[in-house]
DNA sequence: CTGAAAGCGCTAACAG
DNA sequence: CTGTTAGCGCTTTCAG
């Protein structure tokens, strides 16, 4: 199939290609008759505008780069689902890249986006990213940039996050109010802001309710179901007394529940458990697991809207970066209800 | 920040831009000294090659369009994870589009990809797609195209799917061998090939083991946890006798288990249940739910590899389309073990 | 209302 | 080994 360009349409109609271009772009200074004729022959010939050419000329690609750690984590795929939905409605397409939680791979992604001349980048940083990572250059170049959930503190750009401090606080407060006193908190060993915030919420809740902070109850490690099981085994083996566990995310919480069951501890009767993320399984397992909802799809839609709003304003970096903070929702389920 | 082009580098070094271009592309006929000088000034000036320009000129974008129903379904996000990983290693970037299960939206996606001059398209069709949908044109235009999981039967192009017939057969056979006799099958009301295949597997297994086909035991509808519950309620209300349920996917199976429990039926003692998809929750709930694993990440990697292999061969459509069929894995868990 | 012409930044053939 | 030249298919001024 021969590639059809505006020149072919022009020849067909004995007009110039610039008239064709204008007709196709619905330029006001073109007669309705010409427009109609152009559109008809365009359809007849199977013409498809070449976005590559128009991008080169106009300097706009109508493409947004989306850089996330990994798409097989439901949190991220849900957010991307939200972003794509909104961007698509507004005429943008998504160029997708996964950092696989690696800073090096993340920088490759940024480089690819820069070469691809995306109109902007929406990202959530990898676990390895330090400081602003490779995003400093993006901002310096004046390319619109926004973050969701995992935003680098070192860079002052728009973002949409949830209030992780509140999340940590709410989870802990809820456990305290339910009568639990020795609350273990399993956090990540990485120095990531959102993790630190959840920890800070945990600590402040203890403080506010007059409970002592016991370093033995604060565990750091990677997050996984297996790590949750490991923590419980370890705590029990060490003879550390505890009556509740608040974890950084749900799979760890699930591991905690499983291992507690295996050790003959009743949940929530003897030990209360609260996770984080509202993974699908938390409402299906038994006992159902209390957790914090992170409003994933909404987060994606919000960051897309914020981004579009700023794009329209023009001069993306001339305004004070807006930072939207969503309130997490505490879902009290069986694992912490006694 | 001024945009740096090869011309700026050329001026800086008092050579022509074509030498710069060749140096950057590591052309053999350029002296090592020139290459070094060019690379250094490129770095110093913060040069980023413009992919838009090179795509326009070369006719290759190094972009693959990936069109999936929705990314908030873990099956699809896992496959896309696999596709992106492999494509990325091979220098391709992913342009992402969601059909949201709508044929109209799917055609918009195809149109966008065509305009974007993607080097190829990997897709899984929407529930609404009839015949070849908008993909016929893609093939006619000679643009490389491959499908995973949901491939239109009307179009003879490469694909990677699982053997849904085998899946249906294995699930049913397993239930029969476990002593279940009156096996309900909950299928979708849509006329989708992979669903029909699972049904065919179910029917053939019954036949092979000499069990009668009872139309009352075959239910069609949408798939969701709620629909699973509804089916069980309905069957019980109608007084239909059954001792096992094989569902089209896992959420329906979960609903079945929940409703059976609510009705005082013991799973798997009185009723066996087998799902499809191996969603994360199936191994975490109680009883754990037997299901068929669809090898999602592998499916993504396979389709990407197949695609790349064909791209390299050139003349994408001159070979007989390869159709890779992966064997599903039956995961026998508590819900069907008695 | 339409035409002419320049150029976005690069690739690649042809010359030397 | 390096330079010259001609586009890729569009957008966008400037003319008429």
Q: Is domain B60-162+296-326 in CATH 3.40.50.2300, yes or no?
A: yes
Angstrom CA distances, A191 to A187, A220, A276, B212, stand at 10, 11, 18, 62
Question: What is the mean predicted confidence (pLDDT) over A276-296?
Answer: 97
Find the closest chain B residue to A141 by CA distance.
B1
Strands (E), A189-313: 218-221, 244-247, 272-274, 291-293
Is the CB of residue A335 inside 7 Å of nucleic acid strand C? no
3-state secondary structure of A121: strand
B261 interfaces chain A, CB cutoff of 8 Å: no
pLDDT tens-digit series, residues B283-294: 999 999 999 999
* B147/A183 Cα distance (integer angstroms): 50
At residue B35 the predicted structure's pLDDT band, cuts being 50, 70 and 90, is confident
Mean pLDDT of chain A: 95
B1 to chain A: which residues are within 8 Å by CB?
140-142
Nucleotide nearest to A5 (CA to C1'): D9
B256 interfaces chain A, CB cutoff of 8 Å: no
| A310 CA from C11 C1′ (Å) | 36
Mean pLDDT of chain B: 95
Predicted pLDDT at A12 = 85
* B112/A304 Cα distance (integer angstroms): 19
pLDDT tens-digit series, residues B111-134: 999 999 999 999 999 999 999 999
Give Cβ neighbours of residue A283 (< 8 Å, ≥ 6 apart).
A289, A331, A333
- The interface residues of chain B toward chain A in range 210-249, judged by CB-CB distance below 8 A, are none
| Shortest distance, CA B51 to any CA of chain A (angstroms) | 5
User: Among residues A142, A209, A179, A161, which one has the least CA distance to residue A272?
Assistant: A179
pLDDT tens-digit series, residues B271-312: 999 999 999 999 999 999 999 999 999 999 999 999 999 988
Query: Quick one: A6-49 is in which CATH superfamily?
Result: lambda repressor-like DNA-binding domains (1.10.260.40)
Q: In this structure, what DSSP letter does residue A277 have?
A: B
Nearest 10 degrees: Cα torsion A199, A200, A203, A207:
-170
* A99/A202 Cα distance (integer angstroms): 30
Which two tokens mark B160?
């990677």
A173 interfaces chain B, CB cutoff of 8 Å: no
* A208/A173 Cα distance (integer angstroms): 9
Same CATH fold, B164-294+331-336 and B60-162+296-326? yes
| Nearest residue (CA) to C1' of C7 | A57
B286 interfaces chain A, CB cutoff of 8 Å: yes
At residue A25 the predicted structure's pLDDT band, cuts being 50, 70 and 90, is confident
Predicted pLDDT at A1 = 57
Predicted pLDDT at B228 = 97
| Longest pairwise C-alpha distance within chain B | 89
Q: Taking the domains of chain B in order of start, what are their residue ranges? A: 6-49, 60-162+296-326, 164-294+331-336
User: Among residues B87, B75, B129, which one has the least CA distance to residue B293?
Assistant: B75
Query: Using an 8 Å Cβ cutoff, are A64 and A305 in contact?
Result: no
At residue A32 the predicted structure's pLDDT band, cuts being 50, 70 and 90, is confident
* B338/B178 Cα distance (integer angstroms): 7
pLDDT tens-digit series, residues B175-194: 999 999 999 999 999 889 99
Q: A298: how many CB neighbours lie within 10 A of its CB?
A: 16
Name which of B1, B49, B117 is nearest A51 (Cβ-Cβ): B117
B80 to chain A: which residues are within 8 Å by CB?
71, 77, 96
Strand D positions with any atom < 7 Å from protein CB?
1-5, 7-13
Q: Is domain A164-294+331-336 in CATH 3.40.50.2300, yes or no?
A: yes
| Shortest distance, CA A211 to any CA of chain B (angstroms) | 33
Between chains, do B96 and A94 touch, taking CB under 8 Å as contact?
A: yes
In the block, tokens 């507004």 appear at A90
* A221/A138 Cα distance (integer angstroms): 32
Query: Using an 8 Å Cβ cutoff, are B284 and B335 in contact?
Result: no
Nucleotide nearest to A29 (CA to C1'): C1
Which pTM was predicted? 0.94
The Cβ-side half-sphere exposure at B330, using a 13 Å CA radius, reads: 20
* B248/B256 Cα distance (integer angstroms): 12
How would you classify the pairing of strands A272-274 and A244-247? parallel
Which two tokens mark A149?
């959930």
Burial class (CB in 10 A: 0-12, 13-18, 19+), B111: middle
At residue B1 the predicted structure's pLDDT band, cuts being 50, 70 and 90, is low
């Amino acid at each position: 199939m021969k590639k059809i360009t505006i020149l072919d349409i022009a020849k067909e109609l004995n007009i110039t290609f610039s008239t064709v271009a204008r007709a196709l772009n619905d330029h006001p200074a073109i007669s309705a008759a010409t427009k109609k004729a152009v559109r008809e022959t365009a359809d007849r010939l199977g013409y498809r505008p070449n976005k590559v050419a128009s991008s080169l000329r106009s300097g706009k690609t109508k493409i947004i780069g989306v850089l996330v750690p990994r798409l097989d984590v439901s949190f991220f795929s849900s957010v991307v689902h939200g972003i794509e939905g909104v961007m698509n409605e507004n005429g943008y397409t998504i160029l997708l890249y996964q950092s696989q939680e690696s800073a090096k791979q993340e920088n490759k992604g940024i480089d690819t986006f820069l070469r691809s001349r995306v109109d902007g980048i929406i990202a959530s940083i990898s676990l390895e990213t330090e400081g602003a990572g490779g995003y400093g250059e993006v901002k310096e170049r004046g390319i619109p940039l926004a973050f969701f959930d995992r935003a680098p503190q070192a860079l002052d750009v728009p973002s949409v996050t949830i209030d992780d401090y509140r999340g940590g606080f709410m989870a802990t407060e809820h456990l305290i109010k339910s009568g639990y006193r020795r609350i273990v908190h399993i956090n990540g060993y990485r120095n990531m802001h959102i993790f630190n915030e959840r920890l800070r919420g945990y600590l402040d809740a203890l403080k506010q309710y007059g409970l002592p902070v016991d370093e033995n109850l604060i565990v750091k490690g990677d997050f996984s179901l297996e790590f949750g099981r490991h923590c419980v085994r370890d705590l029990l083996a060490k003879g550390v007394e505890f009556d509740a566990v608040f974890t950084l995310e749900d799979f760890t919480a699930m591991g905690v529940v499983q291992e507690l069951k295996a050790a003959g501890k009743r949940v929530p009767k003897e030990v209360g458990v609260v996770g984080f993320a509202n993974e699908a399984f938390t409402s299906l397992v038994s006992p159902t697991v209390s957790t914090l909802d992170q409003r994933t799809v909404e987060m994606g839609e919000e960051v897309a809207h914020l981004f579009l709003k700023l794009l329209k304003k023009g001069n993306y970096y001339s305004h004070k970066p807006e930072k939207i903070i969503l309130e997490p929702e505490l879902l009290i389920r069986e694992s912490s209800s006694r």
